[in-house]
Amino acid sequence: MRDCPVAMTGHLVQEPSHQDADRLAAARQEADRLAAVRRYAVLDTPPDGAFDRICTLAARFFDVPFASVTIVDEERIWFKACKGLDGGEVRRSPGLCASAIMQDEPYAVTDGLTDPRAAGNPLVHDQPGVRFYAAAPIITHDGHRLGTVNVIDTKPREVTEPEIETLRDLAAIVMDELELRLAAIHEVQRAQERRDHALRQQRGAEILAGTLQRSLSPPSLPAIAGLDVAVHYEPFAAEEVGGDFYDHFPLAPGRSGFFLGDVCGKGPEAASTTSLARYTMRTAAMLDEGPEAILADLNAALLMERAQSVQTCTTVYGEIDVRSGSAAVTLAVAGHPPPLIVRADGSVETAPAHGTMLGAFEDPTFHTCAIKLDPGDAILVYSDGILDTEIDGRPMDEQHIARLLAHIPQASAQVLVDRLKDALRATDRRLRDDVAIMALRRIVSG
């Protein structure tokens, strides 16, 4: 007779059931999720204006009285930020947020009294009397759901696909903020460990600056149909976090937004202001307020930070529509060098837009302008770090920059950016400030 476990032990060996396997897999997934929550070190941290403003924007966009950014812990749901709600924490079960993090896609309850997922929740029957609830999960790059961005109303209502997309974008912005802060924490820790070795400490500072700068100004920009885009960023010093920032992002099919700016100062404080400027403009752009209103929102956000320190910046914000043969550009400028329009025939014009520096005054003024880019035309934006350089012993000025870009008909966006970059590298003098350059060119169809 063959050897058999039954014959040797007298007991049947049973395979685990599918239910047991599913429970084991769910337990492992939850353990990994909680490890990710601990990794980002956000639980029980003090209030933060960045997340508070995301709640304010969410409540305003959905026109609801309540909004929150929550992190789901093992036994509790903790509020990182909230609008219209008492802060602190609530029990995880039963909880709407606890249900929302069980899936990757946004979660919506249009009427809490009739939806079986929420009908037994005390928040529906007691204060605040939740009837409408929508949430998007805050998802890490490796797929763990830390918590949610939520909007709540005491009246039932439907939710639209654009609203769901906005909620998903706000959750992504929260994740970007957490990633940025985690990178800063890690780099500070490494810098502290290397403080007794000057060379390694210097290298640590360069890594920190590079990590933060990549978070603040993306090394590459998304491809958008109808546009040829090129950028160049050159820091003043490898070990310093610069104050220049830029971005280009889709707003709707055929429409995109772009900005380039310069925060006064260097180092961690400038990095904080740069982060504030980027997410404020990107989030405000979702509300489709237009360039002038977006700059006003950023000015208000900078003034809110004034209790700690005065934070100012200059910037250009524009929106470009390529749905017709020509591209329609609307621009607003805040204390920044005006963009240059490089026509397909090689001529160069200065955009007629100007305005007040942001963060300095409560009532800034901006002159918005509209520009048409025919196929082959380009718009070029640059930071004033270029104006702090010298070419052939003469200070670089706006007229010199225009001359460098002139007489190169049908130049691609990269050719325009390289023309300025090569001029900077032709001088043997070290940069006195960071330099950022961005060109957007209407592609010639056919």
395 forms beta bridges with 390
- What band does 8 get if pLDDT is binned at 50, 70 and 90? very low
212 in any annotated domain: no
For the segment 265-285, what is each residue's pLDDT rounded down to a tens digit?
Answer: 766 677 778 888 888 888 888
270 in any annotated domain: yes
286 in any annotated domain: yes
For the segment 205-248, what is each residue's pLDDT rounded down to a tens digit?
Answer: 444 444 454 555 565 788 888 999 999 988 765 445 567 889 99
Q: Output the pTM of the full model.
A: 0.57
Question: Is residue 313 scored above 70 in pLDDT?
Answer: yes
What's the pLDDT score for residue 241?
A: 54
35 within 8 A of 52, measured Cβ to Cβ: no
Give the CA angle between residues 437, 443, 446 to the nearest 5°.
160
User: Are 303 and 425 in a shared domain?
Assistant: yes
Question: 3-class DSSP state for residue 87?
Answer: coil
- What band does 1 get if pLDDT is binned at 50, 70 and 90? very low
Domain residues for the domain of 354 are 221-442
What's the pLDDT score for residue 22?
A: 76
Question: Is residue 339 scored above 90 in pLDDT?
Answer: yes
Question: Is residue 439 scored above 90 in pLDDT?
Answer: yes
Tokens of 417: 């950016």
83 in any annotated domain: yes
Q: What is the arithmetic mean of pLDDT over 119-148?
A: 85
**Residue 150, class by beta-carbon neighbours within 10 Å (0-12 exposed, 13-18 middle, 19+ buried)?**
buried
Any idea what the CATH number is for the domain that residue 79 is in? 3.30.450.40
User: Are 168 and 225 in a shared domain?
Assistant: no
Domain count, the chain: 2
User: Are 416 and 281 in a shared domain?
Assistant: yes
The CA distance from 28 to 100, in Å, is 19
Nearest to 353 by CA among 318, 403, 321: 318
64 in any annotated domain: yes
User: Are 304 and 401 in a shared domain?
Assistant: yes
Tokens of 205: 């500072």
For the segment 68-124, what is each residue's pLDDT rounded down to a tens digit?
Answer: 999 999 888 899 999 987 778 888 776 677 677 777 788 888 888 878 777 677 777
Question: 3-class DSSP state for residue 214?
Answer: helix
Tokens of 446: 């056919």
For the segment 280-299, what is each residue's pLDDT rounded down to a tens digit?
Answer: 888 888 887 789 999 999 99
35 in any annotated domain: no
Question: Of 144, 172, 200, which residue sits at a domain end?
Answer: 172
407 CB neighbour count, 10 Å cutoff: 11
Q: What is the arithmetic mean of pLDDT over 14-39?
A: 83
What's the pLDDT score for residue 61?
A: 92
132 forms beta bridges with 153
Question: Of 114, 140, 172, which residue sits at a domain end?
Answer: 172
User: Are 419 and 304 in a shared domain?
Assistant: yes
User: Are 290 and 388 in a shared domain?
Assistant: yes
Q: Are strands 255-263 and 107-109 parallel, antiparallel or unpaired?
A: unpaired
65 within 8 A of 152, measured Cβ to Cβ: yes
Residue 372 amino acid letter: K
What's the pLDDT score for residue 108?
A: 85
User: Are 241 and 97 in a shared domain?
Assistant: no
Question: 3-class DSSP state for residue 6?
Answer: helix
User: Are 417 and 290 in a shared domain?
Assistant: yes
Question: Of 154, 172, 190, which residue sits at a domain end?
Answer: 172
For the segment 370-425, what is each residue's pLDDT rounded down to a tens digit?
Answer: 999 999 999 999 998 888 777 666 778 889 899 999 999 999 999 999 999 888 87
Q: What is the arithmetic mean of pLDDT over 180-189?
A: 82
What's the pLDDT score for residue 332?
A: 95
User: Are 431 and 287 in a shared domain?
Assistant: yes
User: Are 116 and 249 in a shared domain?
Assistant: no
Any idea what the CATH number is for the domain that residue 370 is in? 3.60.40.10
User: Are 160 and 286 in a shared domain?
Assistant: no
26 in any annotated domain: no
Can you state the angle between helices 161-193 and 267-286, rounded to 10 degrees? 170
User: Are 138 and 267 in a shared domain?
Assistant: no
211 in any annotated domain: no
For the segment 142-175, what is each residue's pLDDT rounded down to a tens digit?
Answer: 999 999 999 999 999 999 999 999 999 999 999 9
